[in-house]
Amino acid sequence: MKTIKFLSIALVAVMLFSCNKNGVTNKPLKTEIDSVSYAIGLSTGTQIRTNFSDADVDIFIQGLRSGVDSTNILIEGDKVNSVIQQFFKKKQQADQEKQQAERLKKLEEQYNDNKVAGENFLEENKAKEGVKTTASGLQYIVLKEGNGEKPEASSKVKVHYHGTNINGEVFDSSVDRGTPSEFFVNQVIKGWTEGLQLMPVGSKYKFFIPQELSYGAFPRQGGKIKPFDALVFEVELIEIVK
């Protein structure tokens, strides 16, 4: 038998349960209907305790009675599902945000040295000759200035690139693979999206990208990029793909 989901159980309970006007009555289980009714109620209560611990039991019973008796209904029938769905959608989002915040806090504690190292590197780097810094904190050096048009955020581009962390460890390189990459400018990390729009076709720039403009606390799991890594890329803009 398939497991009955939480809301389905509650719906069946509304149709089968019976409450008198003074609240729930303790009765012995004399018949099969008694046993099934009690079992559904018990299962519903357990599910509510597990999935909706904020429930007001008195108001739940009030709604249960209204559903059985079709009296004193406070929410129109066509809006019931919407009320339930909106609540649990917001609850799920809040739970996810809480979990994300807790995970971020742990990563900040675990990788604080990495974060500080990137900040120190960029602070020293911005004072070096030829380094330009944008309002967002992106740093770059023009290694070669092209004379073509500049891409827009919606443009598709063909590039060669070589990516390292601040210690020079290579984590990705189309140059080493010998094959340029193509992608849309607005579908990569923020530092790339901003940086590519500075480059005329035919240019080669070196980007120094703060962690908040790259992968932040959540790089791809199992990859060489660690949480809060500042990244360095040499990028050659070959063409805007039409």
- Residues serving a catalytic function are 161, 171-172, 189, 215, 233
Burial of 92 (0-12, 13-18, 19+ CB in 10 A): exposed
What the block records as the tokens of 37 is 């009714």
Using CA atoms, how far apart are residues 47 and 190, in angstroms rounded to an integer?
A: 43
CB 68 within 8 A of CB 41: no
Using CA atoms, how far apart are residues 42 and 193, in angstroms rounded to an integer?
A: 56
Residues 6 or more apart whose CB falls under 8 angstroms from that of 239 comprise 148, 157, 158, 201
Half-sphere exposure of 64 (CA within 13 A, CB side): 24
